[in-house]
Each structure stands twice: as C-alpha cells, then as structure tokens.
Structure 1
Amino acid sequence: MVRLYMGNLRFSLTLPRFGDFMVDETYVFEVGGPSKTSEQIQGVPNAYLVEDDIKFGNGKKIPLWLFGFLF
C-alpha cells in the first residue's frame, strides 16, 4: 500500500484485482484512451474510467485532464 499526502489530505493508493489503482479502498480507476471500454471494471462498485483525449466526461468517464483537479 502506498500512502499519498497532499497538505492535510491523506489518501491510500492500492493495486486492486480489477482496474489500475484504488483510492482509500473505495474508488477504482481504469486509465486509458478514448476507445477504452468499461469491460475491465464491469461489475466493480465505485469504478470509473479515466480517459485521455476526451474533453467532457459522461456517466463514469472522467477526462484525464479533469482527473488531475480531483486528486
């Protein structure tokens, strides 16, 4: 497990069985390009796609540039 500290905020980053990484044992993120599908995280609760080369998010898709503002 990796601990990430940002000021007074503390996050734990782990490697989940499905997806690329997990934050605080709750949120799973799969990172990829605009053609990435949710196949790898299908059925995983609190799972989101972080995609490059898209301008707007939709549903459980987060643009990579916007994802940087969240964490």
Structure 2
Amino acid sequence: MSQSSNPEIRKLDRDYVNPTNTRAVIRRAVQDAIRDSPRVLINTTSGRLLDKSEQASSFESLPSSKS
C-alpha cells in the first residue's frame, strides 16, 4: 500500500491503525497511569485487593481500551 502510485491508497496506508501498535500504546498509557498509584488498590465492585499487574489488567480489559 505504501508504494502504490494511487495517492488515495498511500493515504489509507498512513491512516491505518496497526492493532499491535495500538495495544502497545494502551499498555504504555496504563503503565504510566498506575506508576504512581498505591501498591495495592481495592476494587470497590468486588472488594478484592489489586496489585499493580492486576490493576493494569483491569484497565486493559475495559471496553474503551479494545482496539
């Protein structure tokens, strides 16, 4: 696509969102968000204690972070 002679096709290639890159960007954003959070948080819905990895998994499983 990036080598197409058709400018519209080249634009599509530039605008294409790679799901792998999207997940990596989301993961970095989550890690940045929880970096300064307490070591353990309480999930107010379930009452469970969440360590940093569980916090990241919870954020990443939200529908808004799906690519």
Higher RCO (C-alpha under 8 Å, 6+ residues apart)? 2
The TM-score by the shorter chain falls in which range? under 0.3
- TM-score computed with the length of structure 1 as normaliser: 0.22
- Structure having the higher strand fraction is 1
- Structure having the higher helix fraction is 2
- TM-score computed with the length of structure 2 as normaliser: 0.23
